[in-house]
């Protein structure tokens, strides 16, 4: 089988026939000579045979007919050369390849190119092989879109997620009480048609430490894991295998995998890892205290191909591993859902407290672009609703719709008054949904309901997820095809002859252009650094003058007495934080520092859009390859490669900024925590009578001794991380493009295999994707 046949089978979406055609030795000539009886014996499956026959007939009919298959939503020009308006048509059997099929086809083409290059036993080709391997690895990374789902127990999160994926009672909604410490990720299973779960445990060493340091707050955890024997458990025997027979993976610090044929089966097996209910007789052990995260994968769910729904605790966790993962997941969410009951939505301080406590993690310290306030149980009318006794379904329907509109107005008004949240998010970031998951699922099961499907607003949330998924898919597809097009252009360009003079001139001009553009970026980053340095210097002064009063106010609350003694004991034990309240003393002490930069930080590193000095100077960066292509046609292919590399490195830089800016922002609070650690360590030694006052005194003394140093150190740490980010932007851009220029304009190797057909095919895909309208 030659390259022509291999490419045609890939192009037609019949890649699984390649081995058969290879065994039969079918090349271009024999392909065009195939008759019906040959095809019958070659391809026994009727649908594949029909598809192949259709494409072969189009191929034999001539290029004008077959080429039209490559263009989605594009018609051939009319005799006068006018191009009709482009329309995006639905994919069908007679139409062109879908986005997914284009991605798959190009992936297979590049895999074949890689295999073919490796077969060439020539040292001169090795740089191309190494470059392509790196490129394939980079383009193969799929960073999923995360949607974080927050809400107190009983708000209806599980019902909501079940409705979104249209699976009744998949995530348990009534069995026992929810375990608020376990994080649950729900995504599509793209590997097989089974229902799967991966259970990730906390390190066994951390659990052993927790047992050793147990207090009254740990009784529920110990009872869940060890049953009635928990009072006899000591650090010496707490890791005995007899307690972990069902989860030996925990003792090996490994994950546990579950795979089931049905959703019901998986749901039943998951309960003991995500719930706690001592009254459930069939379960003797509940392992939620040992679980860090559960990833659930459901088959046949197009909404979650590139999107993961994450059911998150409202606050962090006392366990170090869970707390670290919580911060990573929260900081990676592009959208956050705050779930509350509609009857509480306007006045639910708990929901706003969850959002406020997480806003620095998802805002300046994260990647969140949208907040969805989701009010559940809209079908439940309370005593305040007019005519709630009425049996008339239409009247009830109207009341629900009225109530939903009123609730949306209340929530939007309340959001505008949340000053701490508004430091991180503007008004247009919030959208309110009023949903009834119960009514939606009833309709899906053909049961009578009081609401129309669209009034449940579950379809609206599904529509949002579809847009998020499709947009992510398009970005991945675009980057992969762009990268493949660039590489194949590079390969063909390297085969060209008599271009040495043009290459020398172009290389010189490109180096000059790169130097000039890097200067623009350097100027912008230096101005940004100087601005933050000034703001943080003011923040240090404000922090030093106010921190004593901040700590004193915290240490002497209205509640006082025994209640606060337990709270403060928990805080010093967890280095300044209390996950259940929630309280973070380190954030309180660093608040003047963060306040000094919050507004400017959001402008400099926005989560939404690219309208900031740094983003804009990267976006407008250009080597001017278009102008050079017009002047130097002999090296057009090499310049096309550089153009695609420029696009890809800019995309990579925007992602680097989103990832690294989280570390920059969080460094302030992290440094304050580090500076206070010795104080917390000493304070937790106190026990018995008078220990509350002793803890207070120890923390006050430690702060008094540290305040003239720790705020300056926090400022310096943030500025250093900011400088590291600025340097990384420069280095990544300079190194990547210099390497690309060298590879494309200093390499001549006429022995490189001919990939002209692959280039032509990928070029068609590239132009097709480029010409499609943004929807």
pLDDT: is 540 or 302 the higher one? 540
Residue that wins the pLDDT comparison between 489 and 1: 489
**Cβ neighbours, 10 Å, residue 448:** 7
437-479 pLDDT tens trace: 988 988 888 887 777 888 899 999 999 999 999 999 888 889 9
Q: Could you tell me the pLDDT band of residue 549, with boundaries at 50, 70 and 90?
A: very high
Alpha-carbon gap, residue 482 to 651, rounded angstroms:
12
pLDDT of residue 680: 96
Instruction: Identify the pLDDT of residue 395.
Output: 60
pLDDT number for residue 396: 61
Q: What average pLDDT does this structure show over 225-244?
A: 87
What percentage of the chain carries pLDDT values higher than 70?
A: 88
Supply the pLDDT for residue 90.
39
Query: Across the chain, what does the average pLDDT equal?
Result: 85
For 594-609, write each residue's pLDDT tens digit.
999 999 999 999 998 7
**132-184 residue pLDDT tens:** 888 877 777 778 999 999 988 778 888 899 999 998 878 877 544 555 578 99
> In this model, does residue 63 exceed pLDDT 60?
no
* pLDDT tens-digit map of 13-47: 788 788 888 878 888 878 887 877 678 778 888 77
pLDDT, position 497: 77
Q: How far is CA 448 from CA 398, 442, 452, 453, 638, in A?
A: 17, 7, 10, 11, 65
Q: How far is CA 730 from CA 107, 141, 621, in A?
A: 31, 23, 12
Q: What is the pLDDT of residue 774?
A: 57
Whether 365 contacts 665, CB under 8 Å: yes
Residue 283 pLDDT: 56
* pLDDT at residue 590, rounded to an integer: 97
> Within 451-560, where are the H helices?
458-494, 500-555
* Residue 215 confidence (pLDDT): 65
To the nearest whole percent, how much of the chain has pLDDT over 90? 51
Token pair in block for residue 393: 């379904």
pLDDT (average), residues 720-741: 96
Task: Give mean pLDDT, residues 308-327.
Answer: 86
Is 390 within 8 Å of 354 (Cβ atoms)? no
Average pLDDT over residues 758-766: 93
pLDDT for residue 750 is more than 80: no
Cα–Cα distances in Å, from 284 out to 177, 250, 255? 16, 17, 21
Per the CB < 8 A criterion, the answer to whether 761 and 109 are in contact is: yes
Q: What is the mean pLDDT of residues 324-329?
A: 91
pLDDT in the model for residue 601 = 96
pLDDT at 443: 85
CA distance 249 to 247: 5
Q: Which of 196-200, 321-325, 495-499, 541-545 has the lowest mean pLDDT?
A: 495-499
Task: Tally the C-alpha atoms within 13 A of residue 148's C-alpha that lie toward its C-beta.
Answer: 33
670-706 per-position pLDDT tens digit = 999 999 999 999 999 998 899 999 999 999 999 999 9
pLDDT tops 70 at residue 639: yes
């Amino acid at each position: 089988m030659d390259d022509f046949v291999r490419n045609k089978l890939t192009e037609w979406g019949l890649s699984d026939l390649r081995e058969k055609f290879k065994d039969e030795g079918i090349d271009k000539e024999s392909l065009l000579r195939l008759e019906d009886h040959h095809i019958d014996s070659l391809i026994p499956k009727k649908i594949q045979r029909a598809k192949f026959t259709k494409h072969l007939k189009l191929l034999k009919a001539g290029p004008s007919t077959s080429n039209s298959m490559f263009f989605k939503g594009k018609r051939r020009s009319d005799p006068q050369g006018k191009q009709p308006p482009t329309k995006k048509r639905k994919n069908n059997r007679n139409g062109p390849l879908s986005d997914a099929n284009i991605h798959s086809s190009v992936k297979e083409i590049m895999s074949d190119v890689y295999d073919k290059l490796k077969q060439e036993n020539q040292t001169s080709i090795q740089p191309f092989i190494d470059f392509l391997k790196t490129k394939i690895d980079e383009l193969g990374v799929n960073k999923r879109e995360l949607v974080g789902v927050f809400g107190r127990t009983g708000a209806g999160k599980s019902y909501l997620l079940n409705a979104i994926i249209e699976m009744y009672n998949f995530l348990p909604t009534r069995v026992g009480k929810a375990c608020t410490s376990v994080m649950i990720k729900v995504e599509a299973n793209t590997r097989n048609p089974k229902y799967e779960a991966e259970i990730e445990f906390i390190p066994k060493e951390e659990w052993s430490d927790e047992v050793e340091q147990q207090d009254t707050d740990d009784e529920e955890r110990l009872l869940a894991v060890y049953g009635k024997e928990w009072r006899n458990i000591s650090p010496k025997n707490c890791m005995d295998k007899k307690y972990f027979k069902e989860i030996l993976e925990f003792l090996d610090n490994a994950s546990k995998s579950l795979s089931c044929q049905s959703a019901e089966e998986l749901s039943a097996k998951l309960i003991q890892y995500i719930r706690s209910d001592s009254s459930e007789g069939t379960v003797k052990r509940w392992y939620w205290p040992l679980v860090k995260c559960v990833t659930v994968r459901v088959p046949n769910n197009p909404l979650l191909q590139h999107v993961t729904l994450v059911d998150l605790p409202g606050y962090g966790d006392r366990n170090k591993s869970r707390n670290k993962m919580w911060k990573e997941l929260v900081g990676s969410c592009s959208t956050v859902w705050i779930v509350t009951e509609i009857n509480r939505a306007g006045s639910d301080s708990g929901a706003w407290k969850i959002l406020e406590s997480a806003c620095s993690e998802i805002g300046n310290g994260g990647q969140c672009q949208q907040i969805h306030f989701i009010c559940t149980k809209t079908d439940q009318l309370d005593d305040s609703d007019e005519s709630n006794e009425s049996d008339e379904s239409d009247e009830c329907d109207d009341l629900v719709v009225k109530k939903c509109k009123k609730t949306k107005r209340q929530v939007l008004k309340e959001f505008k008054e949340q000053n701490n949240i508004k430091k991180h998010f503007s008004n247009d970031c919030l959208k309110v949904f009023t949903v009834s998951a119960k009514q939606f699922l009833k309709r899906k099961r053909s049961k009578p309901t009081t609401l129309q499907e669209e009034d449940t607003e579950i379809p609206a949330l599904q529509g949002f997820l579809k847009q998020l998924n499709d947009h992510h898919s398009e970005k991945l597809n675009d980057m992969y095809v762009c990268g493949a097009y660039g590489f194949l252009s590079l390969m063909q360009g390297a085969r060209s002859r008599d271009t040495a003079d043009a290459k020398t001139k172009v290389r010189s001009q490109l180096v000059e252009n790169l130097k000039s553009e890097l200067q623009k970026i350097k100027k912008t980053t230096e101005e940004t650094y100087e601005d933050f340095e000034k703001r943080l210097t003011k923040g240090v002064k404000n922090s030093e003058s106010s921190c004593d009063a901040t700590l004193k106010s915290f240490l002497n609350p209205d509640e006082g007495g025994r209640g606060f003694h337990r709270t403060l004991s928990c805080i010093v034990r967890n280095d300044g934080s209390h996950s259940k309240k929630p309280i973070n003393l380190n954030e309180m002490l660093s608040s003047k520092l963060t306040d000094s930069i919050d507004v400017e930080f959001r402008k400099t590193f926005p989560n939404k859009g690219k309208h900031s000095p740094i983003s804009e100077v990267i976006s407008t960066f250009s080597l001017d390859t278009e102008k050079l292509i017009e002047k130097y046609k002999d090296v057009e292919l090499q310049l096309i490669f550089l153009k695609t590399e420029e696009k890809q490195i800019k995309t990579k830089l925007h992602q680097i900024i989103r990832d690294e800016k989280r570390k920059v922002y969080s460094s302030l609070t992290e440094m304050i925590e580090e500076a206070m650690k010795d104080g917390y360590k000493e304070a937790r030694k106190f026990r018995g009578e008078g220990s509350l006052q002793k803890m207070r005194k120890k923390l006050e003394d430690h702060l008094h001794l540290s305040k003239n140093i720790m705020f300056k150190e926090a400022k310096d740490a943030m500025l250093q991380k900011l400088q590291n980010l600025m340097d990384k932007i420069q280095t990544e851009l300079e190194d990547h493009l210099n390497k690309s220029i060298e590879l494309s304009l200093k390499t001549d190797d006429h022995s490189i295999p001919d990939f002209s057909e692959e280039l032509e095919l990928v070029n068609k895909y590239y132009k097709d994707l480029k010409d499609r309208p943004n929807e």
